Structures are given as structure tokens and as C-alpha cells.
Amino acid sequence: MNLLSIYPCTIFKMAVAIFMHASKVVDGKLVKGMLMYPTNFGSFKTEEDRQTFCDLYEGKPPPVPYGGVGKKYGPEKFALKEVRTSVVAHMNKHFSLPKDEDAYWQTDGNMHDNLVFHASVLNGIVHESESSLQAAMRTVWEWTGIRADSKELLVGANVKPLYQPATAESEVSEEVPVQVYHFRVSLDRAKWEWMSHQAEKRTLTDWDVSPYKGVLEELGIPDIIHSAYCKTHGGPRFIASMDDVKDTFTQRLMAEAKVVF
């Protein structure tokens, strides 16, 4: 697949969300639930952890550590110093700089352990040249590695304008209508396709987990690889109770679209 051909200019007018329905045998009983995926944008486990991180900066801190920004992007490879220079440039553009840059790097990496990554419904923005169905199919592939057939995606509710999930690089969240789709899939298929997707990712980049795709612009690299392979932090999570849905966007969307387990 030519990734450049499927990532045209984006106009933020509509979003899609896909609820993946699955079943799992638990204690000898078949339980119906949904598969959700942890996003790459975590949150601090405690206020103390967040404040410790904020204290590393001269002024406005980024919302979370930079974490696993990679050095390899297809045939392009960068030295660690080049990557760190680009991270600092990104910090300076969007936030503030560390008080002690030399001591910062190890602390940033360690801070990653203080984050929790909640599982979310699949979601994305419809590109200018796409239909909502095409956007849903693309979003399923980006998050899960599954190349869903159009007939597998069943149209659900069309939700009134809803604030989209926050990003690490912008405090402003777009409020756009959301077309909901439903996708029934087996847990085995989801796990297998996730592993295949990650194997493909590793041939292209060593990016680990970081929500700051803007660093790629500082490196002079298109952010296509990040969009296609780096949106999640782990494979499918089977969720069968509303009590286990911790992602706030997913909670709001399920309430608006009247989606239940």
C-alpha cells in the first residue's frame, strides 16, 4: 500500500468511531464484550507524579513525557543527538525547555512508568477525499492492523458534534459530528492482526510510544509512519463492563450513541 496515497490533506469536519464487538470464554462461560485499544497518550497515575514532571521545566510543561521517539524511519536513520535536538526544538515551539537539559533525558524515560494508558474506542477524522466508511476502514487498519471489508462495518448512530480526544500537542479540541460504526470480530483475529501490524511497523521504525508526532517535522520526516502505526500502546483489551471503560471520550460517545454491552 502506498501510504502517501491514503493520507491526503485533512479538513476537520467529521469524525468516525468504530466499536469492535467480540466474545470471550471466561470461567467456562461465553461473555460478550468489546475490544478497545490503549492510546499513545497516557495520563499520570497520581497528581504527585504529574507535579514532579512539571517541575523539570522552566515554564509551561508538556502534558506527558516525550518517551520513545525513534531514530529510524524507513531508510532514514538519525543519531541520538539529532533526535534530542529535534525534541528540544519541539518543546521550545509548543511548551518550555527543561531546567537542566543534560539531566532531563533519563528522567523523561523513567517518567514513562508513571503513566497509565486507558483503552479507547477506535476513532479518527474523515479526510477531505474520503467517505465516512472509507475513513472507518482506514482507522480500523491504523489502530488494529485489520483490513476490514466494507461489508463488515455496520452503520450506527450519527452523533451530534462532540469534542474529540485531546492531543498532546494542542489544548484545543475540535467539536465535530461522529459517525459510529459497529464491527464484529473474533479475539483471535484481532490479536493476530495486531501482531502482524507491529511486525510491519518494526521494519519501518523503532518509534516506541510517544504522542508527539510533531517531532517528526523537526526531523524533516513525514508523520505518515506515526499515523499509520503508532497510535496505540498495546494490543486489544477485552472489556465487558462499563466499569472498565476509563477513557473519557469513549464514555461520552457511548452515552451519546447509546452503545451498551
Q: What is the model's pLDDT at position 110?
A: 87
**Terminal Cα-to-Cα distance of the chain (whole angstroms):** 35
Domain ranges of the chain: 3-42+117-257, 45-115
Predicted TM-score (pTM) of the model is 0.91
Helix boundaries (H) for the chain:
47-54, 80-94, 101-111, 132-144, 187-204, 214-219, 224-229, 248-257
Q: What is the model's pLDDT at position 7?
A: 43
What is the 3-state composition of the chain as percent helix, strand, coil, each rounded to the nearest 5?
40, 25, 35
Q: Are 64 and 41 in contact (CB under 8 A)?
A: yes
Ordered per-residue pLDDT tens for the chain, 261 residues: 444 444 444 445 899 999 999 999 999 999 999 999 999 999 999 999 999 999 999 999 999 999 889 999 999 999 999 999 999 999 999 999 999 998 898 888 888 899 999 999 999 999 999 999 999 999 999 999 999 999 999 999 999 999 999 899 887 788 999 999 999 999 999 999 999 999 999 999 999 999 999 999 999 999 999 999 999 999 999 999 999 999 999 999 999 999 998
- 3-class secondary-structure state, position 166: coil
CATH of the domain spanning 3-42+117-257, picked from 3.40.640.10, 3.40.50.1000, 2.30.30.100, 3.90.79.10:
3.90.79.10
